[in-house]
Amino acid sequence: MKRTLLALSAVLTTSAYACAPLLDVQARRLASDETVTLCQAYPEQVVLIVNTASKCGFTPQFDGLEALYRRFGDQGFVVLGFPSEDFGRQEYAQEDDSLEFCRLTYGVEFPMFEHTHAAQGKAGPLYQGLADAAGRYPQWNFHKYLLGRDGQLISDFPSQWAPEDPRLIEAIKAAL
C-alpha cells in the first residue's frame, strides 16, 4: 500500500509540473548568464509575452505593461518581455543598454529576457510556437500573447492594443 501511494504521488507530482509546450522553452534573462525554462520559472501563472523595443512609437506601452504586472502580479499574473530588433531595428544592440533603458526610463520590474527574433522567417522556438498556436506572427513591436495557467494560448493582441485596452484587461481577469 505504501509503495502504491508513493508511486501515485510521484506520478501526480510529475504531471503537476509537466511543461506546456508553449512554455517549455529556455530563455536567458536580459543582460545575464542565468537561463530559465519558462514553464518552471512561472508555473501555473497567467503569462503575457510581449516582443518589446526601446526606440519604437509603441515603447510607452512599457508603462502600461508594468502597471498590469503590478496590478495582477499577486494573483498569479506575469508579463515577460523579449526585446527584438526584427521590426525597424528599434532595439539597442547591447542587452545592458536595453535593460538600463527599461529600468530607468519606465521603471520596468517585470522579467525581461534576451534579445529574441519574433518575426516570421526569423522566429526562435518561443515565437515559432506562439505563432503556430495563434495563427500569426507579430507584425511589429509590442505584439502580445496571453497564455492561461495551463500554458495554452488564450489570445493574441496586436501592437495597436495598449495594455490599458479594456479587452486585454478583461481577458487577463477571465484567465485569473
Would the pTM of this model clear 0.85, i.e. be above it?
Answer: yes
62: phi then psi, degrees, rounded to nearest 5: -55, -40
Domain ranges of the chain: 19-175
Report the amino acid identity of residue 30.
L
Q: 37: part of which helix (H) or strand (E)?
A: strand 35-37
Burial class, 143, CB count within 10 angstroms (exposed 0-12 / middle 13-18 / buried 19+) = buried
Query: What integer pLDDT is reported at residue 29 of this predicted model?
Result: 98
Q: What is the pLDDT of residues 84-130, one digit of tens each?
A: 999 989 998 999 999 999 999 999 999 999 999 999 999 999 999 99
Q: Taking 90 as the threshold, does the pLDDT of residue 1 lie above it? A: no
**What tens digit of pLDDT does each residue of 118-174 get?**
999 999 999 999 999 999 999 999 999 999 999 999 999 999 999 999 999 999 999
Class of domain 19-175: alpha beta
Positions marked active-site: 56
Provide the pLDDT confidence category of residue 20 given band limits of 50, 70 and 90.
very high
Place 18 in a pLDDT band, splitting at 50, 70 and 90.
Answer: confident
Per-residue model confidence as pLDDT tens digits over 4-17? 444 444 444 444 55
